[in-house]
Structure 1
């Protein structure tokens, strides 16, 4: 078992400080909220080992929150805490299902005892929260407090149990696949397969065989029958990533699959019935591609039954601090590093970056920083390529003109591609990123300049020197 996840509704900053002082941080992961509605939104996103609520919140009373939690999440233990005890209120809290009614401050010993009394089989550790629909683990939580993102998650919960197709649109790195998995994991299909297919990664002829399968002898080289991704996703969910890159010929075949709930294998004689949920994602504007004739209008309307448009990170600045805390905690645990906090100046610098690569860029930058940080606190020097204090978003190398970290990142990518003679798989290995991340980065650069060939390389030290300089 890993850390215990606590959701604490407390609007008194002083009480929070006392709680933190009295509670051992080892073994607990705490999500603080000020309002009861905010606590309920967090419970909708992921399970917690315990909810602890102040008796009087900004919008609800502790007993009101207790009642709603017990109504919607009856297995979640709830503790009501108060600054002044009241026997009638304590009796009412216990009647409504509270695990305890206690007077502040709470102690770490009390917390461990009370959590131990809760049903240990009800929930996994912080690293393996259970799906609301079953025992399958949630792959990665969607960390947000942005109103629009929370509304999208609420919409996902409403439609999760249906077969309705979902079209998820958003910039690269915003978390489109996370939303797709969120839908799958909260549906009755979550015990079946989740099959993801990148429509841009395979040649047209191969993509058709990958999606729909083929019979033995259907074409030269088809020495045996092959089941396509749709059949492999039977009774589960299939994700068609980068759907905008599919050719019009394949679009027509996909449309028939969606309309008839059956497919024809290449060379097949009889249709194969399907029972699957289809989710499609794209970082392109499909409406514009329909207008240009690059994407079938009928397929677009068939996919766009439930539309989700994920906002870029720059449009939800309130999430940045939350995401930084989440990633630093996760990465420090992953790499066994003792990094526990981010300096105020550093956090301010992070908040004011543009983050064109969105959450993926933020996570990648923090991964590198956690690895090279020289102490428990991430300082500006852990991001910079020299010891001296740089401007907010730029660094200077060996007296040469300033470069932002994005330009340094781009230069390293093109150096790796040059070294591997354009082999993206080898370049991604050198850079320590996935091939998909590399492909998305190249697509961003292509969109910015119109052609990768137009990109020039700036003169920098080799990547190994850059890493040394980053250690400051």
Structure 2
């Protein structure tokens, strides 16, 4: 009556308990409705409500489909990441060394692993920064969640943002489908940003935002997403020098370097070289189908005295090559070894 309705006819479609769903017509003037008005309302109502129900069902189905697609995309991206991580065998993850500098670094790993603090691993190429990152993750409370690795130096600048944060279909030329970024994959786990010193300056601000606010947007989307991800980064570059050259943000450096760990080069831990040589021999000889019993002193002296610019990675390659070329059970170095002339 407050609306001025003085005549109305109502057709009840179904009783929903707290309310009744139906269709009505009304008039602000006194009116006598035809005897069959309810029947007519019923016919029209059935058509309208059936269309409405179909639309509701379609929306529910679309919502379910979107959830399934999101889950499928996430699982596919996670499987790719796991396949990449599986390429690293557990034996390769062993950290070998008794030198004081190396043991100090391992002690720092144990100190910081159980926290959620960001860790910055510093060291030359080939010193084992990736192994240290994996050790931190395995000792952390996030060990049951993914460790996702991104090599910032291996990706073109045009693809790094998409790799880190993902993109929507059509976000740029070639974006033929939606992609979940590495930060989303690492949600609840750890992301390892290798060679972070090579990250383009324009992306450093976005990385800083994730570190500070745990928020980001996919390329081509205005939806803000939140993640709970621990960040471990590594670099072989002098970040202080990059900051002076304005090639690296000082505020990002402070965020990444809450707990820095410096990994000594191989020439700083020469006493560990014999241990590493025998570790590689033991690990590789089954795969190579050979058995080695001795490493002559002159060979070991040559290996220990060499400066190893490629560090542990170079040592492993040299040992594997020597194992392949050695005719018997005694390890011999070939002419291609750079430090062979020093003691042999």
Above 0.5 in TM-score? yes
**For the residues of structure 2 that align with 1:374 and 1:279, how far apart are their CA atoms?**
44
Question: The residue matched to 1:284 in structure 2 has which SS?
Answer: coil
State the structure with more CA Rg: 2
Of the candidates 316, 320, 324, which is equivalent to residue 269 of structure 2? 316
Matches within 5 A, 1:97-176: 140-176=93-129
Of the candidates 133, 150, 154, which is equivalent to residue 197 of structure 1? 150
Correspondence for 2:330:
377
Could you tell me whether the CA contact under 8 Å between 2:298 and 2:343 is conserved in 1?
A: no
Unaligned 5+ runs, structure 2: 1-88
**1:139 Cα shift?**
5.4
Question: The residue matched to 1:391 in structure 2 has which SS?
Answer: helix
Could you tell me whether the CA contact under 8 Å between 2:125 and 2:311 is conserved in 1?
A: yes
Correspondence for 1:347:
300
Question: The residue matched to 2:192 in structure 1 has which SS?
Answer: strand
Could you tell me whether the CA contact under 8 Å between 2:165 and 2:181 is conserved in 1?
A: yes
The structure, 1 or 2, with the larger RCO (C-alpha pairs under 8 Å, 6+ apart) is: 2
Correspondence for 2:44:
none
TM-score by structure 1 length? 0.52
TM-score by structure 2 length? 0.70
Question: The residue matched to 2:120 in structure 1 has which SS?
Answer: strand
CA RMSD, Structure 1 to Structure 2 (Å): 1.9
Could you tell me whether the CA contact under 8 Å between 1:339 and 1:373 is conserved in 2?
A: no
Correspondence for 2:52:
none
Larger % of helix: which?
A: 2
Correspondence for 1:290:
243
**For the residues of structure 2 that align with 1:329 and 1:376, how far apart are their CA atoms?**
12
Instruction: Give a deviation string over 1:344-388, Cα, whole Å, max 9, x none.
Output: 111111111111111111110001111111111113xx32269xx
Deviates more, 1:268-277 or 1:291-300: 268-277
**For the residues of structure 2 that align with 1:355 and 1:245, how far apart are their CA atoms?**
23
Matches within 5 A, 1:244-259: 244-259=197-212
Number of equivalent positions: 254
Correspondence for 2:214:
261
**1:340 Cα shift?**
2.8
Inter-CA distance 267–205: structure 2 relative to 1 (3 Å threshold): same
Matches within 5 A, 1:223-238: 223-238=176-191
Correspondence for 1:5:
none
Unaligned 5+ runs, structure 1: 1-135, 395-472
**1:334 Cα shift?**
2.3
**1:158 Cα shift?**
1.5
Question: The residue matched to 1:255 in structure 2 has which SS?
Answer: helix
